[in-house]
Amino acid sequence: METNNRVWFVTGASKGFGLALVKLLISTGHKVAATSRNIEELERQVGGADKNLMPLKVDITNNRDVKGAIQQTVETFGRLDVVVNNAGYAIYGSIEELSDEEFRQSTEVNLFAMVNTIRNAMPYLRKQKAGYIINFSSAGGYKGYGSSAAYSAAKFAVIGLSEALAEEVRHLGVHVTVVAPGFFRTSFLDKGANMYAKNVIPEYNTTEVKAWMQRMNGKQPGDPQKLVKLLIDITKEKNPPLHLIAGPDAYQIVAEKLKADAEEREAWKNVTFSTNLEN
């Protein structure tokens, strides 16, 4: 399959990275199944169905919905080449503030929905012995921050999921890349784009986090157009990276976290090595 004429399945396509990616794909000759919960907004942004674009209203937390959307993609375009699990959102609040429903819903959208997509895409990719799966994590998937435990828990899991998936499908000719962006100038920090715990406990700093994000909005250093072009480029590689750290800020966060982990690991090495049975 020509690298400029692939079939892509993109979740969360009505805004942010998903929208930027869909627009670039269409402009460069690819075929795209673009999914969103808000089909009206999606069609307003990218237009209605044509020979290269199929907008789909999909509840990605519903396995049956996802299975039907992927089946429709293959029936319409004849194959499936690249799956991009981009959809997600953040909910902020301490673990004590977050309700069970709020925490679980975050995990449903940010993690289990991704599993739905992978589960239903793999039969097609496995049969053709080729394909790419791109999963969006975050710099917050390498380092946990206070007031974002639900988001970090899911994004940490996405990295582990992607590493395991890569081992499972490598011999089938399917490549996996997990993307960990830093702050990019998308709508991610817009008012209403994310959520906050309904239960507010004054002793925690969730209000300060909210104020910081509002100050940061519109000043993010990352260029989403450069990232989505990079995503297209890596699918042309025979050996794309498993881990793609996106942005100097993300690189610094991950590097500092790995350094701190290594220092702590060495400091407690004697304790670690003391746990085996005595011979």
- Residue among 232, 61, 81 at smallest CA distance from 154: 61
Is there a catalytic annotation at residue 27? no
Please tell me which residue in 124, 142, 151, 196 is annotated as part of the active site: 151
Q: What does the block give as tokens for 46?
A: 């990218």
Contact between residue 91 and residue 193 where contact means Cβ atoms under 8 Å apart: no
Is there a catalytic annotation at residue 155? yes
Please name the helix (run of DSSP H) or strand (run of DSSP E) that holds residue 9, with its range, or none. strand 7-10
Please tell me which residue in 92, 148, 155, 196 is annotated as part of the active site: 155
- Residue among 64, 36, 34 at smallest CA distance from 49: 34
Is there a catalytic annotation at residue 204? no
Helices and strands (DSSP H and E) totals, the chain: 10, 9
Question: What sign does the dihedral 258-259-261-266 (CA atoms) show?
Answer: positive
Task: Give rounded-to-5 percent helix, strand, coil for the chain.
Answer: 50, 15, 35
Contact between residue 200 and residue 194 where contact means Cβ atoms under 8 Å apart: no
Please name the helix (run of DSSP H) or strand (run of DSSP E) that holds residue 69, with its range, or none. helix 63-77
Please tell me which residue in 94, 137, 152, 162 is annotated as part of the active site: 137
Amino acid letter at 132? Y
Q: Which are the catalytic amino acids?
A: 137, 151, 155
